[in-house]
Amino acid sequence: MFNDIAPKYDFLNHFLSLGIDKIWRRKVVRSIIKHNPQEVLDIATGTADLAILLAKKHSTSNITGVDLSENMLAVGRRKIDEFNLANRITLKQGDSLSLPFESNTFDVAMVAFGVRNYEDPVKGMAETLRVLKPSGKFYVLEFSMPRKFPMAQLYKFYFWAILPLIGRMISGHKQAYTYLPESVSAFPDGINFIQLMKNAGFSDCKFKKLSFGIASIYQGEKHL
C-alpha cells in the first residue's frame, strides 16, 4: 500500500492534516535534541520527513532511516539530496520486526506514524530496544483518538467521512485512506499503548497528548 501511494504521500500528509503534522514532528525533534544524540534511528522512516527535520535542527546527529517500502525510500532519498544531507542521513530497506543493525547501536530511536502498521507492535518495539544503547531513548509519534466533546465528534466526522474521500481522489488508491481511520481506531492509545511499550521492555514510559488528543508523543528508555 505504501509503495502505491508513495508519490502522493507527502502532499496528502500535509494537506489532510492541515499542516499540523509538521508541528507535531517539530515537537518530537525538540525533545530528542535535548539528549544531544549522535546516532539516531528513524524506524518506518517513509519519505524521511522526521529524519530530515532532525538533521536540520541538530547538526551533530547521524541518522539512519529504515523502511519496508522501497518507493517511500526513493522519495526520501530525493529529498535528502535536495537538502544536501546525504552525508548525514542513510536510508536502508528493512523490517522493524527484524532490524538490520547490531545490538546497542543507537542513542535514540524514533518512529512517526509507523508502529500502528507493524504486524506485531510489541515484537517491533522489543527489536527497537535491542538496537538502542543502554539508557537510549525511544520516541513514538502516533495518532490517538480525542475523547472529549466536541473534538471527538468533529474528528470522527472528518476522519471517517472527509479524509477517505479526499485521500482516494488524490492518491487514486481505494483502501489507503479508509485504512487510516480503521487502523487508528483499532490501535491502543494513551495508557494502553504505554502498556505495549512496557511489554516490549521499555522503562520510564510516559506520553503527552497533542492537539486535543488527535496525536500523542510517547517516550521510553532502555534500562538494563
Ligand X SMILES: C[S@@+](CC[C@H](N)C(=O)[O-])C[C@H]1O[C@@H](n2cnc3c(N)ncnc32)[C@H](O)[C@@H]1O
The x, y and z cell numbers of residue 104, run together, are 546497542
Residue closer to ligand X, measured from CB, 49 or 189: 49
Residue closer to ligand X, measured from CB, 91 or 205: 91
Residue closer to ligand X, measured from CB, 127 or 135: 127
CA dist., res. 22 & res. 88, Å (int) = 21
Residue closer to ligand X, measured from CB, 13 or 105: 13
CA geometry: angle 69, 207, 33, nearest 5 deg: 70
CA-nearest of 130, 139, 136 to 110 is 139
Name residue 219's beta-bridge partners: 139, 206
Applying CB under 6 A, among 20, 74, 85, 97 the residue interacting with ligand X is: 97
135: how many CB neighbours lie within 10 A of its CB?
12
CA dist., res. 47 & res. 61, Å (int) = 18
198: how many CB neighbours lie within 10 A of its CB?
15
CB of 92 to ligand X, least distance (A): 10
From first CA to last CA, the distance across the chain in angstroms is 37
191-200 helix and 121-131 helix, angle to the nearest 10 degrees: 50
CB of 224 to ligand X, least distance (A): 25
Applying CB under 6 A, among 12, 32, 67, 193 the residue interacting with ligand X is: 67
Q: Are strands 89-93 and 62-67 parallel, antiparallel or unpaired?
A: parallel
Applying CB under 6 A, among 24, 88, 107, 114 the residue interacting with ligand X is: 114
Binding residues among 34-63 for ligand X as defined by CB under 6 A = 44-46, 49-50
Applying CB under 6 A, among 106, 113, 143, 207 the residue interacting with ligand X is: 113
CB-nearest residue to ligand X: 46
Applying CB under 6 A, among 4, 95, 182, 221 the residue interacting with ligand X is: 95
Applying CB under 6 A, among 31, 62, 117, 178 the residue interacting with ligand X is: 117
Establish if 126 lies at the interface with ligand X (CB under 6 A).
no
Residues that bind ligand X (CB under 6 A): 2, 13, 44-46, 49-50, 67-69, 72, 95-97, 112-114, 117-118
